[in-house]
Chains A and B, each alone.
Chain A
C-alpha cells in the first residue's frame, strides 16, 4: 500500500497538467462564447417559465436576466484558468458558476457538461498553475507536482471512455447497430461519404469501430509505444463525430483532455516552443525541491470523488426493468449515443367533484425542447405533472388528479405505452426508488 502511495506522491513534471489546464480553459471559454452567440442563454435559461430540477437540487433557482452575469463570470474565470492567472480563485469560480448553470434545468443535461463539472472540481485540488501560466511567471515555485494529480485526471478520462464502451455492449448496439442505423441514413446528404451512410455494412462498421475505440483508446494512450497512433485516432474519431452529429464542443473537450497522456518531456517541449514564440523568459526552477503540500483533506476528497466516479455509473444494476426504457441510473454514467428515443405525453387533469377532465397543451408551459425531453423521461414527467397540479389549483380546481397518456419509441421500435395511465401522478413522490408506474418495456435488449 505504502508503495502505491509513494508512487502517487512521486514528484513529476507539471508540464502536462499546465498544458491541460490551458487547453481546458480555452475550450471552456470557446464553449461559453459559442453558447451565448447562439442565443441559448436567453432561450434556455431566461425565456422558459418552468425548469426541470435535479432530484435533491430543487433549491437551485433560475436567475432570469442575471443568468447573463453568471455566464460572464463563467467566461472570465475560464479565461483565468486558461492563462493560469489567479488560478485557484479562477477554477473555484468556474466550477461553481458552471455547475450552477447546469443545475438550473436538467433538460440540457449533457454528459460532457457533467465531465466539465467533474474535471473542474478535480482541478480545484491540484496545483495546475505550476507550468505554462501567468502565475508561475510571477511567483517562483517548483514546477514539480505529485503524480496523483495527473493520474487522477487520466483516471477520470479513462472512466469516461471505458464506461462509454461498456455501455455499448448491448444487443441494440452490437446486433441491431442501433441507434446508428437510424442516424446515419439521415445524413446521406453529406458530401463524399453521404451515399455510403445508408449502406448496412458501413453502419455496422461505425458501430463496431466506436465500440472498439471506446474500450481500447485509454490503454493505447497509456502505452508510450502506441500513444502517437492513439492520439491520432482520438483526433480522427472526434472530428468524425463532430461532422456527423450535433454534439457541440464535446469533441474539442475530449481531444484537449487526451493530451494529458503525453509525457512531461513532450509537453515541456511544447511549452518551451510557445514561450520562445512569445519571447517569454523563464528561469528553470526544476531544482528538485518539492513545494506542493498535499493536505490530508485533499487526499480524502480526491480519493472519495474518484471512488464515486467508479461506482456511481453502476447504480442502474440496482433497478429492475430495462435501463434504456426507465432511465433509472442512465444519467451521470457516460452513456452517450446509445439511444434514439421519442415520445408524446398528453396530460389530463381530473376534478372528481365536478367530473371534469381537462387535457393540457404542453406548449402552454414548456419549450419544444423541454417537451421532447419530458416525454421520454419518467422523472421529468412526474415533475411536470406536479407543476400542472399547482397550475390548475391556482385556476381553482380542488384536489386535481393528473394522468398521462404517453407513448415512447426506442431505437427504431414502434411506440408503446410508457406510463401507467391509471396512476394519479399527483400522489406519487419522486425518490431514488424504482418507479413502478413506468410500464414494462415490451422489447428486448440484452447486455451491460
Chain B
C-alpha cells in the first residue's frame, strides 16, 4: 500500500511494459455490454410483447370468441415469458416504480380481484395491491375464473366487466414497463455505464446484488422452495407460480433460469453471441489467483438445475402434490447455486452489500 517509494522504484524499473494475456477487467465495458446487449434489448422485447398483449385484449373485447381467447392466452404466455427475462433488473426506474412487485406477486388475491372488478375507480398503485394485479391476476381471469366450458360466457356477462378489468391490468403492466424502457433509452443507460466504480452504489455492485437477490429469493425460494414447503411446515402447492394454468410453471422456471445463465455469460440478446459477461470477469480473477474456474462451477450447477427441471411435470404445483422429493432435489441444486453466487462470486468480485465503512473484514 504505502510503498509509494517501492512503487515508484518499480515503475522506474519496468519501462519495458507488461504483456497482457487476458483481457483486463474493465467495469465500464462490462456495464456497456450489460446495458446494450442484454438489459435494453430484453426490456424492448418485453415491451413489444406487452403491446401484443394489449392488442389481443382489445381484439378479445370486440370479438369475444374461443379463437380470440386463445390468441389472448398465447399473448399472455409470451409476455409472461419475456417478463422472466427482465425481472432480475430491478434497478433505476424499475426499482423506483417497484416493477417486480407490481408485475408478478403470487398467489394472487382472488377475493380482492372480485371486488376490484366492480369498482369504477381503482387505484392499483398502492403497495397493498401488489397481489391484485400483474400476470398472476390476469392468469386468474383467463384460466381460473370459471371452468373451461363456462369461461367464455362468464367473460361476456355483465357488460364484459372482466374483460374491461383485464384491459386495466394489462394497461398497468404496459405503463410501468414503458416508463422503465423510456428511462433506459433516454437517460439511464449513460448514467448506468458512467457509474463504473466499486462501491455499494456503483452499477456493477447494484446489479450483481440484484442478481443474487433474484436467484436466491425469486427463483430458488419463490418458484421452487416455497411451493415445495421448504420455508413452511407443510408443502404449499397453491403458492407455486401460474397455478391456474396447468402446463406453464415449469416453462416459466426454465425461462427464468436461462435468463440468469444468459446474463451471467453475457449472451447478446439480439445475436445470441457470447460477449463480455460476469463469467469473463470471474475468469480473469481466477487466473490471477491461480484458481480453477468458478464460472464453470456456476454454469455446471445452472445446467444441472435445468436438466433436472425438465424431468419434472409441466405444472410445479402438480409436481409438489405428486412427488415433492423431486421438487426438493431441484431446490437443493438451486441452493448450491446460491452458495456459489453469494460466497464465491461476491467475494471474487469484491461486491459491497451496503454503503458503509469497513476495515477490511
Residues on A lying within 8 angstroms of B by beta carbon are: 38, 40, 43-44, 108, 110-112, 176, 179-183, 185-189, 195-196, 198-202, 205-210, 212-213, 233, 236-237, 240-241, 244-250, 336-344, 346, 351, 354, 356, 358-361, 363, 367-369, 371-372, 375-376, 405, 407-409, 412-415
A248 to B343, CA, bound (A): 24
A210 near B1: Cβ-Cβ < 8 Å: yes
0 or 1 for each of B1-41: is its CB under 8 Å from A? (1 = yes)? 11111110011001000100000111110000000000000
B343 near A195: Cβ-Cβ < 8 Å: no
In the complex formed, the residue of A with least CB distance to B345 is: A342
- Residue from the list A43, A205, A241, A375 in contact with B7, Cβ < 8 A: A205
Q: Chain A residues near B25 (CB, 8 Å)?
A: 185-186, 188, 198
- Residue from the list B291, B292, B354, B359 in contact with A369, Cβ < 8 A: B354
A139 to chain B, nearest CB (A): 38
B348 near A412: Cβ-Cβ < 8 Å: yes
- Residue from the list A198, A342, A368 in contact with B347, Cβ < 8 A: A342
0 or 1 for each of B345-361: is its CB under 8 Å from A? (1 = yes)? 01111101111111111
B2 near A236: Cβ-Cβ < 8 Å: yes
0 or 1 for each of B246-258: is its CB under 8 Å from A? (1 = yes)? 0000000000000
Q: Is B77 an interface residue (CB 8 A)?
A: no
A415 near B339: Cβ-Cβ < 8 Å: yes
B337 to chain A, nearest CB (A): 11
- Residue from the list A108, A185, A351, A372 in contact with B288, Cβ < 8 A: A185
B350 near A186: Cβ-Cβ < 8 Å: yes
A189 near B28: Cβ-Cβ < 8 Å: yes
A215 to B137, CA, bound (A): 65
Tell me how many residues of B have a C-beta within 8 Å of chain A. Answer: 58
A183 to B7, CA, bound (A): 17
A337 to B353, CA, bound (A): 17
Q: 5 closest Cβ contacts across the A-B interface?
A: A209-B3, A248-B357, A237-B2, A337-B360, A210-B1
A48 to chain B, nearest CB (A): 12
Q: Is B217 an interface residue (CB 8 A)?
A: yes
A359-B230 contact given A185-B25, A188-B25, A201-B10, CB 8 Å threshold: yes
* 6 pairs of residues in contact across A and B, judged by CB atoms under 8 Å: A196-B11, A241-B1, A247-B360, A356-B234, A368-B209, A407-B339
In the complex formed, the residue of A with least CB distance to B233 is: A356
0 or 1 for each of B282-306: is its CB under 8 Å from A? (1 = yes)? 0011001101101000000000000
Residues on B lying within 8 angstroms of A by beta carbon are: 1-7, 10-11, 14, 18, 24-28, 196-199, 209, 217, 221, 225, 230-234, 284-285, 288-289, 291-292, 294, 335, 338-340, 342-344, 346-350, 352-361
A367 to B348, CA, bound (A): 22
B196 near A189: Cβ-Cβ < 8 Å: yes
B360 near A202: Cβ-Cβ < 8 Å: no
A376 to B231, CA, bound (A): 23
Supply 4 further A-B pairs (C-beta < 8 A) apart from A237-B2, A250-B359.
A38-B355, A205-B3, A246-B355, A376-B361
B172 to chain A, nearest CB (A): 27
Q: Chain A residues near B348 (CB, 8 Å)?
A: 182, 412
A183 to B24, CA, bound (A): 15
A371 to B344, CA, bound (A): 16
In the complex formed, the residue of A with least CB distance to B13 is: A201
B1 near A195: Cβ-Cβ < 8 Å: no
A412 to B358, CA, bound (A): 18
A212-B231 contact given A247-B360, A414-B291, CB 8 Å threshold: no
A339 to chain B, nearest CB (A): 5
A361-B7 contact given A186-B349, A338-B360, CB 8 Å threshold: no
Q: Chain B residues near A344 (CB, 8 Å)?
A: 338-339, 342-343
In the complex formed, the residue of A with least CB distance to B22 is: A198
A213 to B348, CA, bound (A): 27
A340 near B3: Cβ-Cβ < 8 Å: no
B3 near A342: Cβ-Cβ < 8 Å: no
B341 to chain A, nearest CB (A): 9
A359 to B28, CA, bound (A): 39
